[in-house]
Amino acid sequence: MAKKKSRTPAPPRKVQAPQRRTDPKRPRSPEDRRFLFMAIGFALTGVIAVGVAVLFLFVFNDSNKAAVDIPNSDSLVGVQTGPAPWNAALDTLPDRLKPLGLNALTTEGEVVHIHQHLDIYVNGKKVTVPSQIGIYDGQFLTELHTHDASGIMHVESPTKRTFDLAQFFGVWGVRLTPSCVGGYCKELTPWRLYVDGKPYQGDPRALELKAHQEIAIVIGTPPKVIPSKYKFPAGL
């Protein structure tokens, strides 16, 4: 019996390796873009809101420094616009308190309790700063006042805040503007403000009152020496 011929096996089929899909990404639809823009808008709105809140808190906290805007002293009742000397102008003091942002106190405040010294010279001669500025006939006193004619200014407040030179001159009832002190205006009579012996370059009304300042207003011909410090009594 004849043998069967063995069949040669077919060669193996080549199998193609799997290919990674390289189709380009599907472009965003108008709806997708609109959603993205809305998300960005909400995020920016949140950032702006936080910024506004921080600014509000800053302004609110800073408001304690000045209760009101100080008006031009020309608008205050009873303000003296003539030459020195000037009296304490107590008869019209109650009418000036509200515009100045000050109060009628029954006792001296203790939360803020500081002192300054004020010198005023007119053509080299010292002008008296009156006693009892800001003390109304024993009935009340303001946060800013004097007890005697030494030139020592008392700042005594029951709340924490700052005060400026415009407020003191408003209590005193003497005109103080960027160009005029009482009846002396720079157009006719030059004058300068000094703090601790150094010229003050800003608006004199805005000078913040701080502990143990030596404040000098020099009108016309200056004295031989501009005071730079004052020896306060013990305890002041």
Find the range with the poorest average confidence among 18-32, 105-119, 123-137, 196-210. 18-32
| 224, two tokens | 């031989």
When pLDDT is averaged across residues 142-164 and rounded to a whole number, the result is: 98
pLDDT at 10: 55
- Higher-pLDDT residue of 234, 27: 234
Q: What average pLDDT score do residues 84-92 get?
A: 98
Tell me the mean pLDDT in the region 21-46.
56
Q: What is the pLDDT of residue 11?
A: 56
pLDDT attached to residue 35: 54
Cα dihedral value 135, 89, 118, 153, nearest 10: 10
Give 138's pLDDT tier (boundaries 50, 70, 90).
Answer: confident
Compute the half-sphere exposure of residue 206: CA atoms within 13 Å on the CB side of its CA. Answer: 6
Paired with 119 in beta bridges are 216
Instruction: Tell me the residue type at 162.
Output: T
Nearest residue to 101 via CA among 81, 71, 57: 71
Q: What is the pLDDT of residue 53?
A: 43
Sign of the CA dihedral 105, 108, 112, 118?
A: positive
Q: Is 196 left (phi over 0), alpha (psi -120 to 50) or beta?
A: left
Cis check: omega of the bond before 85, within 30 degrees of 0: yes
| Residue 74 binned pLDDT confidence (cut-offs 50, 70, 90) | confident
Compute the average pLDDT of residues 113-120.
98
What does the block give as tokens for 221?
A: 């011909």
Burial (CB count within 10 angstroms: exposed 0-12, middle 13-18, buried 19+), residue 154: buried
Contact present, 164 and 209 (Cβ < 8 Å): yes
Under a CB-based contact definition with an 8 Å cutoff, are residues 170 and 73 in contact? yes
Residues 91, 171: Cα–Cα separation, whole Å: 11
d(CA 137, CA 89): 12
Write out pLDDT tens, residues 160-206.
Answer: 999 999 999 999 999 999 999 999 999 999 999 999 999 999 999 99
For the chain, give every domain's residue range: 39-67, 69-219
- Quick one: tokens of 79? 């303000």
Asked if residue 163 lies in contact with residue 156, where contact means CB atoms within 8 angstroms, the answer is no
Residue 19 pLDDT: 53
Query: pTM, whole model, 2 decimals?
Result: 0.72
Residue 39 pLDDT grade (very low, low, confident, very high; cuts 50, 70, 90):
low
**Res 29: pLDDT:** 60
Averaged pLDDT of the chain: 83
* Token couple for 125: 């001669």
Pair of tokens at residue 115: 């002192």
Q: Is the pLDDT confidence value at 99 over 90?
A: yes
Percentage of the chain exceeding pLDDT 70: 70
